[in-house]
Amino acid sequence: MIQKSIKNLRLLFVFIFLIFVQKIMYSASECSENNDVQWTIVGAGPAGIITIGLLLDLGIPPQRIAWIDPEFNVGRLGKYYTTVPGNSQTDVFIELINSCKVFQCCNPSSLCIINSVGPEEDYPLNIIVEPLQTITDYLRTRVKAYKTELKSLEFVDDSWHIGTKQESFSSHIVVLATGCHPKTLSNITTPEIPLDLALDKNTLATLINEQDSIAVVGGSHSAVLILKYLTELKVKRIINFYKKPLCYAYEADGIYYHATDGLKGTAARWAQHVLEKNCPAHLIRIKNSPEAFDAWLPVCNKIIYAIGYDRNELPTIPTLPNTIYDSYNATTGVIGPRLFGIGIAFPEQFIDQTGEQQVGIGLIDFMQYAQSVLPIWLQTKQNLARFAHCAQLFSIAQL
């Protein structure tokens, strides 16, 4: 944990330096390019919000930033997961807001709720969704916000041509913060309860009854929360198909183990006290295999898949390979020429100090990743060549 804090402090110093140099180096040539805008951010979930905020912090003129989203309601987090219990301490949300100067300009009153939650107290994710919605509403008044869907993306004559339902325009740089949706299985006829709905306990209660036998596929955080809800809502039978034993995130000697795949918070406590020590008789956990699935699924009349997320569909880019999105660089966020990705659809991947493969999908992960990759993305502009060199030298000196 101490090493992580030192790393974060160094990142902060580098980012402050970048802001200072960027504001000095930013020239009129930025506005003379033959594009309608300089930057286009697609997606208004947490990663999109963070990217917009940091670009404004770096002195990018707001009129040179386009922001596309069909709803502007903090993405899937804001639309479906406001009642889901958080799995980290609320101080990470304070750190998130404090990491961006523009966010603090909004001064959302809902931050008071975050400050009032104790370190061991359970809370719903709405306590961060509300501040992020306030920030979103503010940012939409600053940049060119388009409440619509991205329909086409094409790279022609060294420029990105962006098509929406209403209009089209060109951009020098495009950042995709487009999010993901829950995975599902094909060729299954058992009626499905969508994961997005199942993760809201009150909504789930309207979709089940006491005579239901429900299959829950998965063994990670979302699956365990749903098992908890179902046992409390009193259904007839619950069959949980899982691949791996329960795994918990924990810290020891300053090292955080299983940070990505381990259970945390409410889900971890319930799994330890109920699943492992006092599992209800009507909840049957089965190691998943084709044979087990075929044998037990017929006794279930409903099914919930909690098996992860797939990237939301993105338009084909005619001049680039069809595999361009899948081959993005998980260290720099580079997808293609002046095309970058961030957030749960294009997360950072790295090997941590325990040797484990990690995927950064937390809100503070998005912030720290954006702070580290934005200098790389800014290097794509010729008029910032000197700035990039200075930033690189400073980064090496600090790190």
Of residues 287, 314, 271, 44, the one with CA closest to residue 154 = 314
Does residue 388 have a pLDDT over 50?
A: no
Distance CA 230, CA 225 (A): 9
Q: What is the mean pLDDT of residues 167-174?
A: 96
How far from each other are the two terminal CA atoms of the chain, in whole angstroms?
Answer: 17
Does residue 382 have a pLDDT over 70?
A: no
Mean pLDDT of the chain: 87
C-alpha triplet 161, 167, 170: angle, nearest 5°: 25
pLDDT at 276: 94
Q: What is the mean pLDDT of residues 58-82?
A: 97
Report in angstroms the alpha-carbon separations of 193 from 26, 305, 306: 51, 8, 10
Distance CA 75, CA 72 (A): 7
Distance CA 334, CA 312 (A): 18
Report the predicted TM-score, pTM, of the whole model to 2 decimal places.
0.86
pLDDT at 20: 45
pLDDT digits (tens, 9 = 90+) for 257-275: 888 888 999 999 999 999 9
Does residue 3 have a pLDDT over 80?
A: no
Counting every residue written for the chain, the total comes to 399
**9 pLDDT tier (thresholds 50, 70, 90):** low
Distance CA 337, CA 320 (A): 10
Least confident of 114-118, 129-133, 192-196: 114-118
CATH of 2-181+309-398, one of 3.50.50.60, 3.40.50.2000, 1.10.10.10, 1.10.357.10: 3.50.50.60
Residue 288 is classified by DSSP as -
Fold of the CATH domain 184-305: FAD/NAD(P)-binding domain (3.50.50)
β-strand pairing of 159-164 with 150-156: antiparallel
Q: What residue type is 365 in one-letter code? A: D
Greatest mean pLDDT among 12-21, 88-97, 331-340 lies in 331-340
**29 pLDDT tier (thresholds 50, 70, 90):** very low
Domain range summary for the chain, segments of one domain joined by +: 2-181+309-398, 184-305
C-alpha triplet 334, 59, 51: angle, nearest 5°: 40
With both helix axes pointing from N to C terminus, report the angle between 126-142 and 91-98 in degrees, rounded to the nearest 10: 10
Greatest mean pLDDT among 19-33, 252-266, 339-353 lies in 339-353
pLDDT at 397: 36
Question: Longest C-alpha distance within the chain, in Å?
Answer: 70
With both helix axes pointing from N to C terminus, report the angle between 363-378 and 91-98 in degrees, rounded to the nearest 10: 20
Name the burial class of residue 393, with classes exposed (0-12), middle (13-18) and buried (19+) by CB atoms within 10 angstroms of its CB.
exposed
Whole-angstrom Cα Rg for the chain:
23
pLDDT digits (tens, 9 = 90+) for 264-321: 999 999 999 999 999 999 999 999 999 999 999 999 999 999 999 999 999 999 989 9
The number of beta carbons lying within 10 Å of the beta carbon of residue 171 is 23
pLDDT at 383: 36
Fold equal for 2-181+309-398 and 184-305: yes
pLDDT at 10: 53
